[in-house]
Copies of this chain bind each other. A is one copy, B any other.
Amino acid sequence: MPSAEDFACAEQPVGSPGPGEVLLRNLYLSIDPAIRGWMSDAKSYLPPIRIGEPIRSGTLSQIVASDAEGWPEGLIVQALAAWESYSVVPTHNLHGKVRPIAGIPLHAMLSVLGGTGLTAYFGLLEVGNPRAAETVVVSAAAGGVGSIVGQIAKIESCQTVGLTGSDEKCAWLVEELGYDLAINYKTANLRAALAKSCPRGIDVFFDSVGGEILNTALTRLAHHGRVVLCGAISQINAPELPPGPSNYLQLLAKSARMQGFTTLDFANRYDEARERLAGWIIEGKLRYRDDIVEGLDRAPEHLLRLFSGEHRGKLMVKLAEAEV
């Protein structure tokens, strides 16, 4: 588990963009479990953050200087940048130009219309591939991704069950987000509760938690069930690799699959996803909650809140206002 002492603030001159690069003024930082993964030396889809380097982060940023055609100054972009006031990045780190939408605040471009929403959208619809009337179970259901997954599943006419760690969050899932059922995994017998709430088995298990929650859910998979691997927040701070899910052979017994993904796999479809997500927000079918603190110095504490399980919705840090 990282602690506040593992982080330090440093001042450096603002860089200048070279050919094919832009200088960004970062407006919001996205606080995601992926950051903790990048802090590890384990091999992943991106290289580890090295000691002394700024923390890699999804951001909502404004281009303030550009040496890249098609990326003019003033443009607001989603980017893979860092916990910095200003970042120089190559254009392949820019994940789309942000067009503000009437009635939707800018920071939503980093949550429900950003990586969080895209993760929920592609993970559920493309990897989980739910069909109407199927049962979709979501772990970390009150988190940034999970709170959106359940609502998309409902839009797709699925039966939805959310797993979360307090009765208060259970109530929020059902009353505000429209989950059909919610289970407090800290107080319930999860196996029995899943058996009761998913009498025909779990068709799609959208998992961001791993560990015993995943292992228990595997025992309740339906025939041809699909486990969407989005993360393993329960294991992300483990000093050694924890045991894998001993029930993995349920995948064989149920002709089921377990599949990982990143939104980068669907990079050519971000616009389509954002358009549909924005449409659902405007129609009132999709709610979201952004948990925002202000100031670069507060980024470490906000990251640590991700692991405490007390937050609801998407965590982000506000650094600056966009300039018009």
Chain A interface (Cβ within 8 Å of chain B)? 42-45, 210, 215, 219, 223-224, 229-232, 235, 241-262, 265
Contacts and interface: CB of A to CB of B under 8 A. Distances in A.
Given A243-B246, A248-B245, A44 B260 contact: no
B258 A248 contact: yes
A257 B258 contact: yes
A251 B258 contact: yes
B245 A244 contact: yes
A241 B244 CA distance: 12
24 contacts: A42-B253, A45-B223, A45-B253, A45-B254, A45-B255, A215-B244, A229-B248, A229-B249, A229-B252, A232-B252, A243-B246, A244-B245, A244-B248, A248-B248, A249-B260, A250-B260, A251-B260, A254-B260, A255-B260, A255-B261, A255-B262, A257-B257, A257-B260, A259-B259
Contacts of A251: 229, 258-260
> Which one of A230, A232, A235, A255 has the highest number of Cβ atoms from chain B below 10 Å of its Cβ?
A255
Nearest to A244: B244
Contact of A257 (B215, B241, B248, B259): B259
B255 A258 contact: no
A259 B248 CA distance: 10
A270 to B, nearest CB: 16
Contacts of A244: 215, 243-248
A241 B247 contact: yes
Contact of A246 (B241, B252, B254): B241
> Which one of A224, A229, A250 has the highest number of Cβ atoms from chain B below 10 Å of its Cβ?
A229
A287 to B, nearest CB: 27
Contacts of A45: 223, 253-255
Nearest to A44: B253
A89 to B, nearest CB: 23
A251 B45 CA distance: 11
Contacts of A257: 257-260
Given A254-B260, A255-B259, A255-B262, 20 more contacts: A43-B253, A44-B253, A45-B223, A45-B253, A45-B254, A210-B249, A224-B265, A229-B251, A231-B252, A242-B246, A243-B243, A244-B248, A248-B258, A251-B259, A252-B260, A252-B261, A255-B261, A255-B265, A257-B257, A258-B258
Contacts of A255: 45, 259-262, 265
By Cβ-Cβ distance, the 7 closest A-B pairs, closest first, are A244-B244, A252-B260, A257-B259, A243-B243, A251-B260, A244-B245, A44-B253
